[in-house]
Amino acid sequence: MNKLLTTITLLYISIAAELSVSAEKLYFPDANADWETVLPSKAGWDQELLNEALELAGERNSSGVLILHNGRIMAERYWSEPDTSIRYQNFLQGFDSENRAIEDVASAQKNITTALVGMSQARGFLSLEDSVTSHIGTGWSKAAIPQETAITIYDLLTMTSGLASDLTYETEPGERWLYNTPAYHFLMRVVSAATKKPRDVLTQEWLTEPLGMTNSSWTPRPWAGSDIAVGFSTTARDLARFGLLIQAGGRWDKEIIFRDTEFIEAMMTPAQDINPSYGYLWWLNGQEFSLGVTPQAVRRDGPLVPSAPGDLVAMQGALDRKLYLVPSLNLIVTRLGSAGSAGGQSFNEAFWKALMKAKQ
């Protein structure tokens, strides 16, 4: 491990420890009770400027934005029909009892899968060092059997399988970082095979039911190819509950849901130095550079979101589905809707620039 990666690793271990310590201050909402709120002024934020950040989010096609401070709702706003395009409508799965959108969160689902992998390891069903083939058999890729057998669960979690997007062999595991969604999708097959439980049952028992995520489930994608025919659908509030679990170091109030704190620390730590802005399917801010999600994996110097705090970590999906955690500010932010880039500026950069103006 080189000096850069060592330094980054120590930074994120410190951040993960801060997440765990902050659990003592967190509020956890009941499944059937009103969610407690906190006035922005009491949390150190300017109400007027916070409203301006929310207005910007609405102008950029958001259907919902929720901001938690130590688990309490500091700001929340919803917009109806942010986009009439077929693409957005494909991701819209309906509405909850309060008419809040339930949306397939696209690639943000990857982090739900990460948690299930970690929980499976904690329960002894698998190890990150296991060959993918040892759980689902040979032939899942287009690589030769010896090449395929060398690919581990860890390699899929870190996007370093060595496979191309069409699952053909390119290089040895660990030699290249590629945002490879087709390869990622085999992780849930591994988890289901190892636990002998379907993804729906497993997710309900281990995550959505204990956390009170009553509007969250895996839903079909009839418009997509067979390898990505299922997506995780949720609301801004339910997604924030998942963020609370992670912010609390795997705890939900006094109950331990996710027992492997070392895994939680590692998943939000740079997993390799090829793309230091990526952990176990989590995006990490504050690094020297990041690689893009296209097959060319274009390098971009500087932090992932320059206007955001350096310790931000994020779940990110198509059409700007987001869950942000910022330990230094005790914040959890969720955003659903349609694509929010405009005028050459990403939603990430525009929203966080506006939001940070509100911090007193």
Report the pLDDT value the prediction gives residue 254, as an integer from 0 to 100. 92
Report the pLDDT value the prediction gives residue 7, as an integer from 0 to 100. 41
Report the pLDDT value the prediction gives residue 26, as an integer from 0 to 100. 93
Spacing of C-alpha 68 from chain mean position: 16
Checking if the pLDDT of 284 tops 50, the result is yes
Q: What is the mean pLDDT of residues 239-266?
A: 96
Look at residue 254 and give its three-state secondary structure. coil
Report the pLDDT value the prediction gives residue 8, as an integer from 0 to 100. 43
Checking if the pLDDT of 1 tops 50, the result is no
In a 13 Å sphere around the CA of 160, the CA atoms on its Cβ side amount to 19
Q: How many domains does the chain have?
A: 1
Query: The CATH number of the domain where 136 resides is what?
Result: 3.40.710.10
Question: Which tokens belong to 126?
Answer: 């698998």
Report the pLDDT value the prediction gives residue 119, as an integer from 0 to 100. 98
Look at residue 172 and give its three-state secondary structure. coil
Report the pLDDT value the prediction gives residue 225, as an integer from 0 to 100. 67
CA distance 9 to 7: 5
Give the pLDDT confidence of 128-162 residue by residue, as tens digits: 999 999 999 999 999 999 999 999 999 999 999 99
Checking if the pLDDT of 338 tops 80, the result is yes
Q: What is the 3-state secondary structure (H, E, C) of 181-208?
A: HHHHCHHHHHHHHHHCCCHHHHHHHHHH
Report the pLDDT value the prediction gives residue 34, as an integer from 0 to 100. 86
Q: Look up tokens 């399917």; give the residue.
A: 281
With bands split at pLDDT 50, 70 and 90, how would you rate the model's confidence at 81?
Answer: confident
Q: Which domain holds residue 86?
A: 3-357
In Å, what is the CA distance from 22 to each residue of 13, 35, 237, 279, 358? 14, 19, 20, 21, 22
Give the pLDDT confidence of 2-34 residue by residue, as tens digits: 444 444 444 444 444 455 444 458 999 998 778
- Nearest CA to 177 out of 301, 278, 265 is that of 278
Q: What is the mean pLDDT of residues 67-81?
A: 97
Checking if the pLDDT of 55 tops 80, the result is yes
Checking if the pLDDT of 227 tops 80, the result is no
Question: Which tokens belong to 29?
Answer: 């909402």
What's the mean pLDDT when you consider all of the chain? 92
Checking if the pLDDT of 340 tops 70, the result is yes
82-86, 156-160, 353-357: least confidently modelled range? 82-86
Q: Using the 8-state DSSP alphabet, how is residue 351 labeled?
A: H
Report the pLDDT value the prediction gives residue 343, as an integer from 0 to 100. 86
CB of 108 closer than 8 Å to CB of 315 = yes
Report the pLDDT value the prediction gives residue 5, as an integer from 0 to 100. 43
